Amino acid sequence: MFGLERAGLLPGLATAAGWGAWWFAASLVLMTVAHDAYFYWTHRLIHDRRLFRRFHRRHHRSNDPSPFTAYSFDLSEAAANALFVPLWMIIVPTAWQVLGLFILHQIARNTIEHCGYEIMPARRNGRPLIDWITTPTHHDIHHAEAGWNYGLYFTWWDRLMGTEHPKYHARYAAAARPSTPPAPAALKAAAMVVE
Ligand SMILES: [Zn+2]
Ligand SMILES: [Zn+2]
């Protein structure tokens, strides 16, 4: 990115500074929403049989994700994901500080989604408190059944395109309810750790 700046390809840095505080906030929101769309469509693309082995297989070796899964990528997938940032910074006037906040949010959300625990609070009806934001359960389902739940930050692309798993809300409710007894498989795994 600094190389692009030195080559004079980021005139948007100066433009963004002149557009003030409202643009600082708006560009952060817009960049996040645009990255979510970029991720959804590139993610669907690399699930195509012709691309999956070369781009996305390493990430899906984690059937039961942990935070370490978040950045477990093939190099080709890492490059495809990272390409969004220079493209955005060349086209849209955006401050360095916005890029920093964008990356922090991206790292936090990616790690949370792979953390293996449901941490999104539930409403009384069992639905996620903020249902337009993806949850660990949402992405866990993608690792267990790869044909569903391609979204990164928001659930709206999966809902719009009909790729949200039909049992997502039922599985979220089961994972979010603390009174739910652990599944027999989890108990067995815990016993093995003790041994
Ligand atoms: Zn994943
Ligand atoms: Zn995938």
pLDDT digits (tens, 9 = 90+) for 78-102: 999 999 999 999 999 999 999 999 9
Please identify which residue in the block is written with the tokens 């890029």. 99
What's the gap in Å between 56 CA and the centre of ligand 2? Answer: 7
32-57 per-position pLDDT tens digit:
999 999 999 999 999 999 999 999 99
* Whole-number pLDDT of residue 98: 97
- Categorize the per-residue pLDDT at 170 as very low, low, confident or very high, splitting at 50, 70 and 90: very high
* Whole-number pLDDT of residue 177: 78
> In the numeric block, which tokens belong to residue 154?
């928001």
Report yes or no: 157 and 37 within 8 Å, Cβ to Cβ.
Answer: yes
What's the gap in Å between 75 CA and the centre of ligand 1? Answer: 15
State the Cα–Cα distance between residues 184 and 129, nearest whole angstrom: 28
**pTM of the entire predicted model:** 0.87
**Number of domains within the chain:** 1
Tell me the residue ranges of DSSP E strands in the chain.
none
Give me the mean pLDDT over the 151-180 stretch.
91
Q: Of the ligands numbered here, which is closest to the C-alpha atom of 145?
A: 2
* Whole-number pLDDT of residue 152: 96
Question: Helix 96-113 crosses helix 20-46 at what angle (to 10 degrees)?
Answer: 40
| % of the chain surpassing 70 pLDDT | 91
- Categorize the per-residue pLDDT at 183 as very low, low, confident or very high, splitting at 50, 70 and 90: low
Report yes or no: 128 and 118 within 8 Å, Cβ to Cβ.
Answer: no
Instruction: Look at residues 75, 114, 90, 98 and name the one whose alpha carbon lies nearest to residue 19.
Output: 98
What's the gap in Å between 12 CA and the centre of ligand 1? Answer: 32
pLDDT at 180 over 80: no
What's the gap in Å between 148 CA and the centre of ligand 1? Answer: 12
Domain housing 140 = 2-194
- Categorize the per-residue pLDDT at 185 as very low, low, confident or very high, splitting at 50, 70 and 90: low
What's the gap in Å between 186 CA and the centre of ligand 1? Answer: 21
Give me the mean pLDDT over the 136-143 stretch.
96
Query: What is the average pLDDT value for the chain, to the nearest integer?
Result: 91
* Whole-number pLDDT of residue 6: 95
What's the gap in Å between 146 CA and the centre of ligand 1? Answer: 10
